[in-house]
């Protein structure tokens, strides 16, 4: 059976409920039995993370240890070069064969910058894009050409994600979570409470390792 495989990439510095909860809702909505979380090693478009790759991986492992929906993929952590998604998805496609349905999950903010990504135009040849809602970001692209690109690939039918191997963009109706890793790092630096923002196991790890102080 051609079961849709979904990868969720990120910096996860640290992983938080704004990552986990929309994707859990998405999985229920469109019928995903597994989502593979893939921390990057060298984020291509942002300053290097505060926590090391090992620490970010350990926090993801703690966050998903009681959630069978999620698995961890370490392929980008093993690469020292910038973690270009286009390169990762090309390798994943070669592994999975030409007909398997593959998807890369992102938040709304990532959709807006997507046309600036390394070889972004190749990404939809290898996978679908599933976009989770995120408060504070528009759902329209900044310029007309990018908006046209979005509309050319858009589908409102989740079945397309399961029946086609790649090439569609699906704007999922996931719940909004006003949480970012930046907010968590800032709150921790000020010694403020973050209990509602990320799993207790991850918060304990942060405290034990003196991160984000
Ligand atoms: N609250 C959220 N709602 C929906 N998607 C999110 C949310 N937070 C992060 N994402 C998505 O998760 C992926 C990984 O995000 P990332 O690890 O950069 O987290 P972040 O909170 O945006 O981090 P930072 O504040 O350090 O930039 C991205 O595609 C991002 O759009
Ligand atoms: O390949 C790129 O050029 C590229 C540019 C920006 C972001 N990405 C990837 O998109 C995912 C979300 O990015 P971020 O920075 O929000 O964690 C993560 O897997 C990044 O490696 C990839």
The pLDDT tens digits for 89-130 are: 999 999 999 999 999 999 999 999 999 999 999 999 999 999
Q: Is 39 close to ligand 1, i.e. is its CB under 6 Å away?
A: no
Strand bridging mode 169-171 / 128-132: parallel
- Contact at 8 Å (CB) between 197 and 184? yes
Nearest CA to ligand 2 atom 19: 9
Query: Does residue 1 carry a pLDDT above 80?
Result: no
For 35-54, the pLDDT digits (tens) are 999 999 999 999 999 999 99
Tell me whether 0.95 is exceeded by the ipTM: yes
Q: Which ligand is nearest to the CA of 134?
A: 1
pLDDT of residue 161: 98
- Taking the C-alpha atoms of residue 39 and residue 49, their distance in angstroms, rounded to an integer, is 11
pLDDT of residue 139: 84
pLDDT of residue 92: 98
Query: Does residue 187 carry a pLDDT above 60?
Result: yes
pLDDT of residue 7: 98
User: Which atom belonging to ligand 1 lies closest to the Cα atom of 177?
Assistant: 1
- Taking the C-alpha atoms of residue 122 and residue 126, their distance in angstroms, rounded to an integer, is 7
Annotate the chain with three-state secondary structure: CCCCEEEEEECCCCCCHHHHHHHHHHHHHHCCCCEEEEECCCCCCCCCCCCCHHHHHHHHHHHHCCCCCEEECCCCCCCCCCCCHHHHHHHHHHHHCCCCCEEEEEEHHHHHHHHHCCCHHHHHHHCEEEEECCCCCCCCCCCHHHHHHHHHHEECCCHHHHHCCCCCEEECCCCCCCCCHHHHHHHHHCCCCCCCCCCHHHHHHHHHCCCCC
pLDDT of residue 43: 95
Q: Is 56 close to ligand 1, i.e. is its CB under 6 Å away?
A: no
Q: Is 110 close to ligand 1, i.e. is its CB under 6 Å away?
A: yes
Residues of the chain above pLDDT 70, percent: 99
Spacing, Cα 9 to ligand 2 middle (Å) = 7
Query: Does residue 2 carry a pLDDT above 80?
Result: no
- Contact at 8 Å (CB) between 196 and 154? no
Spacing, Cα 17 to ligand 1 middle (Å) = 10
At a CB cut-off of 8 Å and minimum separation 6, what does 154 contact? 168, 169, 170, 171
Query: Does residue 174 carry a pLDDT above 60?
Result: yes
Residues of the chain above pLDDT 90, percent: 97
Q: What is the arithmetic mean of pLDDT over 178-206?
A: 98
């Amino acid at each position: 059976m051609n079961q849709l495989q979904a990868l969720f990439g990120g910096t996860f510095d640290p992983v938080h409920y704004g990552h986990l909860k929309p994707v859990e809702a998405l999985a229920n909505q469109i019928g995903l039995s597994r989502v593979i979380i893939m921390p990057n090693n060298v984020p291509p478009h942002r300053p290097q993370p505060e926590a090391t790759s090992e620490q970010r991986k350990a926090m993801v492992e703690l966050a998903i240890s009681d959630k069978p929906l999620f698995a961890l993929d370490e392929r980008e952590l093993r690469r020292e070069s910038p973690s270009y998604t286009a390169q990762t998805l090309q390798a994943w496609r070669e592994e999975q064969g030409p007909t398997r349905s593959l998807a890369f999950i992102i938040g709304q903010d990532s959709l807006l910058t997507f046309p600036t990504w390394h070889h972004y135009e190749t990404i939809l040849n290898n996978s679908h894009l599933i976009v989770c809602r995120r408060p504070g970001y528009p759902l329209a692209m900044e310029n007309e050409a990018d908006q046209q690109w979005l509309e050319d690939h858009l589908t409102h039918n989740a079945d397309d994600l399961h029946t086609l191997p790649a090439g569609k963009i699906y704007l999922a109706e996931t719940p909004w979570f006003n949480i970012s890793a930046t907010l968590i790092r800032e709150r921790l630096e000020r010694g403020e409470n973050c209990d509602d923002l990320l799993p207790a196991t991850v918060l304990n790890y942060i405290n034990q390792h003196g991160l984000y102080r």
